[in-house]
Structure 1
Amino acid sequence: MEKRATIKEVAEKAGVSKATVSYVLNNTKKVSESTKERVLQAARELQYAPDFTAVSLTKKKSRMIGVILPLINESIAGIMQENTYYNEMISAVEKTSRENNYDILLAGLARPEDYRSWVQKRRLDGLLFLGLFPEGIYREMHSMDVPAVLIDTYESHTENYPAVNIDDEKGGWLAADHLISNGHDKIVFLSVDLDNPVEKERFQGCKRALKEAGLPPPAVMKAEDIHSFESGYEAGRQLFKEKKYTAVISGSDTTALGIIRAVHDGGGKTPEDLSVIGFDDLRLSRYVIPSLTTIRQHIEKKGTLAAEKLVRVMEGQEEQPEMVDVELIVRESTGKR
């Protein structure tokens, strides 16, 4: 293994002091352009990389952001594999963080005390929470005074942190209104957990659209486990077998795609036998057959906004909550009744 170059070797090659090298690399003091260029050239030739552990100890900043995801069966693997919403979100967070000279670290933590240990051990400068933010975790984080930004949270105790949410209620309304305008009046809402504030908001939007159309509230079907292809597939098998409904609104694109596959495997067609509408507008949703009608929630924009807010909060600025608009994307999986 090749030995790493040291700051002393860079200084010797550039013909300056170690302090001058530090000034140049950290941009902390004014140095002449000619000296700066000699230092940078020496660093490039020696392939010098700063020891960020040492830097974090000196500056009390690690340039690390912790991204916390929901845990499924004691791991984040399940949710990352089953729902590419998180992949798209984290891609945007990572890009924005890197552009601001931060790295990210992913974790799924279940117990409030785990957060304190993780933050202190990794010397994290800030946190991004994706999804639910339980009150026990809020109390733990509040006592540590760590900068944080939340994504997809509605709990009342979260108001002390800036959050980036979408208009979930409007999204539910748009989905139901689209189906109603196509003649559907037997609509079912597929939910993993209606106690989840995000799904609850979407369901409320569906109810409002149906009420405005003079129709009864939508039926609710409980999906198994998590938003996954499998849970959507099982729900789709049941829906196609029972034939009680003409359309289904799914809480995610992932479960919607599972429904479409189940209808196909059962010998049916979408949307002729069952109109299906999702929520997210994942990249893959436009490429399946039939392509998925869905509610676009601008995942990349949400991730970018959240990361930008966190950078500003870590720099001592105040940030306000932000609501991102949604839009209906009509494709092939819904049709007239």
Structure 2
Amino acid sequence: MAGLADIAQAAGVSVSTVSRVLNRKAGIKEETRQRVLEVLSQMPHTARGVGALRRTGVVGLLVPELSNPVFPAFAEALESRAALAGYATLLCNTRAAMTEREYVRMLVARGVEGMIFVSPEIANPDNDERKSRNYYEELGAEGVRMVFVNGGAPSLDVPDITVDEHLAGYAAATHLLELGHRRIGFVSGPARALPSRLKRAGWSAALEEAGVEPVAELVANAPFGAEGGAEAMGRLLDGPRPTAVLCSSDVMALGAMREAKRRGLSTPEDLSVVGFDDIPLAAYCQPALTTLAQPIHDMAAAAVDELARQLDPDEPGRGSAGFSRMFRPNLIVRESTRRI
């Protein structure tokens, strides 16, 4: 594997500068940082095979953001489980100062043994799926040990520890149907995102089973996040008003409830709302949010255990892709839904 001295020589900088770039220290010119990262991108990820990685006892955790509380929750659960397994962790926020690919180069340069990607690049609907798939295939071919959490990449031979998004949409819609609702809207994330498509399919299946037609005008897509939730809710309320909505995430649900309140509607008296994730704030907002909880600690344990299996030198078939697992979301009924 290329060392810091090799990277420094190729980039025409000092070893200390390379170290400062890799550790995201201040005081580095952007031009210099990009030159170092470009050198890293041109170097092999491994000494022709991360299978020969040193036993550093460190794994990388890559999450797409920290503003949505579900991702810090995953990071904390993954870090705790990794510590129990004897691994230290390096946490990387891939939508902050560096991209996922830049972090991968940094992690390899620092000798991590493996990586866990939460909602990896290939799951981002804004990215070219084919290019992303080729990227991960190249990493795998070079021996990088990987596990995805909610990766949504069935075309890749990478273990994916995921929650059943289809069941989440189905269970949310079923709960609302049982409360007497028939005009049930979907405050959705981006239409191309796999979680959005799967939740919508579950929503549609539940409605059809109940003899209710799932109409397109009751689905509004927007970017993930509170602002996206408010935007999508606004579009639904501009048409024939639903009596209930399910949302792609708790954060979107909070934005949706705020938009409903801005328009003079009360939750749940005028509009029942169901979220997804069960972030800590869900139990404490007003009204407390009914939601589908991801079993984060169980998923984190499965992800770390699978990576540890790949890294175990005594494990038969060490380095093989392993198995994916799908977990059931759990319906938690609180105050944001009511019978009509």
Alignment of 1:164-313 (within 5 A): 164-218=161-215, 219-223=218-222, 225=223, 227-240=224-237, 242=239, 244-313=241-310
Name the SS of the counterpart of 1:279 in structure 2.
Answer: strand
Q: 1:128 aligns with which of 116, 119, 124?
A: 116
Q: Which amino acid aligns with 1:327?
A: N
Determine if contact 2:152/2:194 at 8 Å carries over to the other structure. Answer: yes
1:100-179 maps to which residues of 2 (within 5 A)?
A: 100-107=85-92, 108=94, 110=99, 114=102, 117-132=105-120, 133=122, 134-158=132-156, 160-179=157-176
Q: Distance in 2 between matches of 1:89 and 1:59?
A: 26
Instruction: Work out the CA distance in 2 between the residues paired with 1:175 and 1:120.
Output: 41
Instruction: Kindly report the root-mean-square deviation, in angstroms, between the aligned alpha carbons of the 2 structures.
Output: 2.2
* CA–CA separation in structure 2 for the residues paired with 1:271 and 1:125: 49
1:261 deviates by 2.1
Kept after mapping to 2: 8 A contact 1:130/1:152:
yes
Is contact 1:84–1:282 with CA below 8 Å preserved after alignment? yes
Please name the residue that 2:333 is paired with. 330
Instruction: Please state how far the C-alpha of 1:153 moved relative to its aligned partner.
Output: 2.3
Unaligned runs of 5+ in 1: 1-57, 71-78
Over the matched positions of the two proteins, sequence identity in percent amounts to 31
The alpha-carbon deviation at position 110 of structure 1 amounts to 4.4
Q: Contact (CA 8 Å) 1:116, 1:144: kept in 2 or not?
A: no
SS across alignment from 1:195: coil
Whether contact under 8 Å (1:65, 1:103) holds in the other structure is yes
The amino acid across from 1:87 in the alignment is: P
Once residues 111 and 170 of structure 1 are traced to their aligned partners in structure 2, the CA distance between those partners, rounded to angstroms, is: 29
- In 2, Cα distance between the equivalents of 1:147 and 1:121? 15
Whether the 8 Å CA contact 1:191–1:251 is kept in 2: the answer is yes
CA deviation profile, 1:211-244 (whole Å, cap 9, x unmatched): 1111112521012x3x222222333344445452
Are 2:63 and 2:75, in contact at CA under 8 Å, matched by a contact in 1?
Answer: no
- 2:57 corresponds to which of 63, 71, 74: 63
Q: For this pair of structures, how many residues does the alignment match?
A: 267
With the length of structure 1 as denominator, give the TM-score of the two structures: 0.73
CA distance in 2, matches of 1:110, 1:137: 14
* Alignment match, 2:22: none
Residue 80 of structure 1 pairs with residue 66 of structure 2: yes
Gap runs ≥5 in structure 2: 1-51, 123-131
Larger mean CA deviation between 227-236 and 281-290 belongs to 227-236
Determine the C-alpha separation between the residues in 2 that align with 1:304 and 1:142: 22
Shift of 1:69: 2.4
For 2:55, what is the secondary structure of its paired residue?
Answer: coil
Using the TM superposition, give the Cα deviation of residue 87 of structure 1 relative to its aligned residue in structure 2, in angstroms: 0.7
d(CA) in 1 for partners of 2:99, 2:53: 30
